[in-house]
Structure 1
Amino acid sequence: MNDVIVIGAGPAGLSAAITCARQGLQVLLIDEYMKPGGRLLGQLYEEPDGTWWNGIKESARLHQQAIDLGVHVQLNTPVHNLERDEDQWTIYTEQRIYSTNHLLLATGAAESPVPVPGWTLPGVMSVGAAQVMTNVHRVKPGNRGVIVGINALSAVIASELKLAKIDVAALTLPKLNQLTTDAAQPKKVMNNLLHVAHMAPSALLRTGSKLMKSDLMKQLGINFYPKSGFKMWGIPIQLRKSVVEIYGDKQVEGVKLAAVRPDGEIIPGTEESISCDFVCIAGGLYPLTELAAVAGCPFYLIDELGGYVPLHNNQMETALDGLYVAGNITGIESAKIAIDQGTVAGLTIAANHGVNGLEEATEQAIHSVEQTRDGVPFQFDPDVRRGKQIMKEKWEEYQVNKTKTPVD
């Protein structure tokens, strides 16, 4: 039996494994991918202070720390079931069965698909797939692409594609329907995009974004948004156009765009075509929570955190004894926050395992999560703090209800 098992070798899982190992615990780290690092592997961007965040280097650094501390890293190992018997968790993989009293789920996030007519053509992919191809495998997804979906994730990945000398013809909206809703409405998309405008190389855009604070200014900005769009990193940001079709014979050859009203409705007769050889669909991210559901965790739908999130406290404990969560499974945020959450989870696990004197270090680690949240270049949802407050209230409510004595 292992002292600790961590499922997910992304930034949160690696950080937690390192923290546990430093406290003398025997740690098994499991991941289904062939390399450790998770979504951290694909990240490469310039920060506001001019330094570069290189996900491959950060992954290698964390992995080496884990190995040096004696963490057993088991890659290419999907987990397909969890069971709890008294105080023990049993983890089922294709290779073998593992057991532990302390199990951390750091399973990360997955991309939300956005259906677009023609999206089954070869050359259509998620924006995350294009990021991995470019930054991890050093393979261009194509020579000229269009990104469907304007959000913090797609804007940053578009800048990364430009660094690889890939022509990004436009970032544009998906067509408004029951599934796209907010993602197809220019005003709501602008509000999201303003949170990454400070990363744009244009001083004009950075200054202009600071002026777009009030609803009135945002509405004026949408009403008078230029038909050709503004450019970030030399890429047209088309807030008043949406993709109505991806076309091609045997592969992607282009997209059809149409102008939209401020509410996202298509303006008839405004269709035009843009040639390209690949299309990225950016529907955003959601917490990857299947294993937490199998374990029997209670969940809450918190839109500010990306979707359904397992109930947990700020020490990364869930409502189930011996089960912990960290990283994007707790809400969509940056890799830096995931690393800090992994540290909190590792210290909590070590304390629950019987290691003494960790109270102050745990409090400092929880405070570090808040500081990192304040300092990250962008948030996937600008209201993430509200989401965290909702989770805190849900946890407190759960604790109160758990201690109530049934009335005879």
Structure 2
Amino acid sequence: MTDVLIVGAGPAGLSAAISCAERGLKVTVVDEFMKPGGRLLGQLHQEPNGTWWNGIEESAKLQNKAVSLGVDIKLGISVYDIKQSAYGWIVYTSSGVQEVPALLLATGAAETAAPIPGWTLPGVMSIGAAQVMTNVHRVRVGMRGIIVGINVLSIAIARELQLAGIDIAAMVLPAKNILNKDAGDPQKVMQSMLRLGHLAPSPILRLGSGLMRYSPLQTWGLRLYPKHGFKIWGIPIQLRKAALAIEGEEKVESVQLAELTPDGEIVAHSKRSVPVDFVCMAGSLYPLAELAAVAGCPFRFIPELGGHVPLHNAQMQTPLNGLFVAGNITGIESAKVAAAQGTVAGISIAAFHKASGTDVELQRAVEHVRAMREQALIQFHPQVAEGRRHIETMYADA
């Protein structure tokens, strides 16, 4: 019999498993993927101090520590139903049914695409799929491609694809439609891009992005934005161009681009086709929270956290007895924040099991999450700290 079942072997789930096991609990982790690590597996980037963050290595460290503490990690297993019981939780999986007193959902996030005509052709994939294919499976997704969608996620992964020897012809906006209103708006995309100015490889670009944070300059900045965009790591970032359609008979052959006005309207007679053999669609991320819904957990809509999230407090507790959440299911943030949340959840679960000495540890762990958030190199949503305060206040008032 296990003391806690953790669904999700990403940074949050593995960190929680370690935290629980260190406090004497028997822990089982299940994940539907064939390797532990979750989104860590695809991550590869350079930190400001020059060191490289290798997600595969970080995942291996967490896995090895968890296994050394006796954590049972079961892979290739899906969870499809959850029911509350007098004992705790009945969890239905593809390998059988298990009843546990405590359950942690660390299911992470999923991608939303920015659809345009032709996006179902072979050779079109989400930006996250390209990351996994390249960094995890070591499979080149193509020789020359275009990324449709300019945001935090796509810029980071564009660099990873480039490091694998893949030519990124351009990063462009999707054409505006009912689903792509913000993603296809040059001014809104520019505002989100300015938050990434500190990552620019050139001091001139960093200075320019700092000056452009002043709203009166942003309109002028868009009007004067170079026709072929600015280049970061040699990749053209084209805020004034949009992908209208992906073209090809049986697979991707080209992308039809058009120039945009500062307001995001298509410039007449500016359409042209650019030959490529793959396209990455880069939308946004949202909390993968279906299992929490199945469990009957109440939700709140918090845009700053990425959408609908399970109601929870800073200790990663939900209003349902014995049900905990951690990681991107609670809001879209970095892997480092997710891991810190996992540690909090593990201590909370230990306290749920009446482990001694958890009060001070829990407070320190909660403060560590906040510190990691403040130090984060990239914020997916600029008001994430405000979103966290909102959800914690809602939990207290529930």
TM-score of the superposition, structure 2-length normalised?
Answer: 0.98
The 10-residue stretch of structure 1 (32-41 or 78-87) with the greater mean CA deviation from structure 2 = 78-87
Alignment-derived partner of residue 11 in structure 1? 11
Alignment-derived partner of residue 186 in structure 2? 186
The percentage of counterpart residues that share the same residue type is 56
| Correspondence list, 1:187-202, <5 A | 187-202=187-202
- SS of 1:181's equivalent in the other structure is coil
CA contact (8 A) 2:194 2:213 kept: no
Q: CA deviation at 1:205?
A: 1.2
Alignment-derived partner of residue 383 in structure 1? 383
Alignment-derived partner of residue 288 in structure 2? 288
- CA deviations on 1:39-77 (whole Å, 9 max, x unpaired) are 110000001111111000000110000100000001000
CA contact (8 A) 1:300 1:309 kept: yes
- CA deviations on 1:243-273 (whole Å, 9 max, x unpaired) are 0010012111110111112222222211122
Is residue 2:51 matched to residue 1:69? no
Is residue 2:318 matched to residue 1:324? no
Alignment-derived partner of residue 125 in structure 2? 125
CA contact (8 A) 1:3 1:100 kept: yes
Give the whole-Å Cα distance in 2 for the aligned partners of 1:87 and 1:97. 14
Give the whole-Å Cα distance in 2 for the aligned partners of 1:56 and 1:140. 18
RMSD (Å) for aligned C-alpha atoms: 0.9
Give the whole-Å Cα distance in 2 for the aligned partners of 1:320 and 1:378. 32
Structure 1 unaligned spans of 5+: 399-408
Q: CA deviation at 1:393?
A: 2.1
Give the whole-Å Cα distance in 2 for the aligned partners of 1:141 and 1:40. 19
| Correspondence list, 1:47-66, <5 A | 47-66=47-66
CA contact (8 A) 1:79 1:91 kept: yes
- CA deviations on 1:72-101 (whole Å, 9 max, x unpaired) are 001000000000012410100121111111
Give the whole-Å Cα distance in 2 for the aligned partners of 1:339 and 1:78. 22
Give the whole-Å Cα distance in 2 for the aligned partners of 1:212 and 1:297. 42
Alignment-derived partner of residue 147 in structure 1? 147
Q: Which amino acid aligns with 1:123?
A: G
Alignment-derived partner of residue 114 in structure 1? 114
Give the whole-Å Cα distance in 2 for the aligned partners of 1:171 and 1:288. 27
CA contact (8 A) 2:112 2:283 kept: yes
Give the whole-Å Cα distance in 2 for the aligned partners of 1:302 and 1:123. 34
Give the whole-Å Cα distance in 2 for the aligned partners of 1:58 and 1:113. 28
Alignment-derived partner of residue 138 in structure 2? 138
Give the whole-Å Cα distance in 2 for the aligned partners of 1:146 and 1:305. 28
CA contact (8 A) 2:114 2:183 kept: no
Alignment-derived partner of residue 44 in structure 1? 44
Alignment-derived partner of residue 393 in structure 1? 393
Is residue 2:310 matched to residue 1:310? yes
CA contact (8 A) 1:174 1:183 kept: yes
- CA deviations on 1:204-247 (whole Å, 9 max, x unpaired) are 21121111212112222112111110011110001011100100
Is residue 2:229 matched to residue 1:261? no
Give the whole-Å Cα distance in 1 for the aligned partners of 2:383 and 2:274. 34
Number of aligned positions between the proteins: 398
TM-score of the superposition, structure 1-length normalised?
Answer: 0.96
Structure 2 unaligned spans of 5+: none
Give the whole-Å Cα distance in 1 for the aligned partners of 2:46 and 2:323. 36
CA contact (8 A) 2:310 2:330 kept: yes
Alignment-derived partner of residue 353 in structure 1? 353
CA contact (8 A) 1:31 1:75 kept: yes
Q: Which amino acid aligns with 2:252?
A: V
- SS of 2:362's equivalent in the other structure is helix
Alignment-derived partner of residue 23 in structure 1? 23
Q: Which amino acid aligns with 1:193?
A: M
- CA deviations on 1:82-130 (whole Å, 9 max, x unpaired) are 0001241010012111111110000000000221101111100000010
Alignment-derived partner of residue 162 in structure 2? 162
Which contiguous aligned blocks of 4+ residues in structure 1 show a shift greater than 2 angstroms?
none
CA contact (8 A) 1:310 1:330 kept: yes
The 10-residue stretch of structure 1 (104-113 or 210-219) with the greater mean CA deviation from structure 2 = 210-219
Q: CA deviation at 1:10?
A: 0.3
Q: Which amino acid aligns with 2:67?
A: I
Q: Which amino acid aligns with 2:28?
A: L
Alignment-derived partner of residue 78 in structure 1? 78
Q: Which amino acid aligns with 2:216?
A: L
Give the whole-Å Cα distance in 1 for the aligned partners of 2:35 and 2:318. 28
- SS of 1:246's equivalent in the other structure is strand
Alignment-derived partner of residue 216 in structure 1? 216
The 10-residue stretch of structure 1 (102-111 or 92-101) with the greater mean CA deviation from structure 2 = 92-101
- SS of 1:184's equivalent in the other structure is coil
Give the whole-Å Cα distance in 2 for the aligned partners of 1:94 and 1:358. 34
- SS of 2:183's equivalent in the other structure is helix
Give the whole-Å Cα distance in 2 for the aligned partners of 1:285 and 1:87. 35
Q: Which amino acid aligns with 1:265?
A: E
Q: Which amino acid aligns with 2:220?
A: L
CA contact (8 A) 2:9 2:31 kept: yes
Alignment-derived partner of residue 172 in structure 2? 172
- SS of 1:218's equivalent in the other structure is helix
Give the whole-Å Cα distance in 2 for the aligned partners of 1:374 and 1:204. 25
Give the whole-Å Cα distance in 1 for the aligned partners of 2:304 and 2:201. 28
CA contact (8 A) 1:305 1:387 kept: yes
Q: CA deviation at 1:366?
A: 0.6
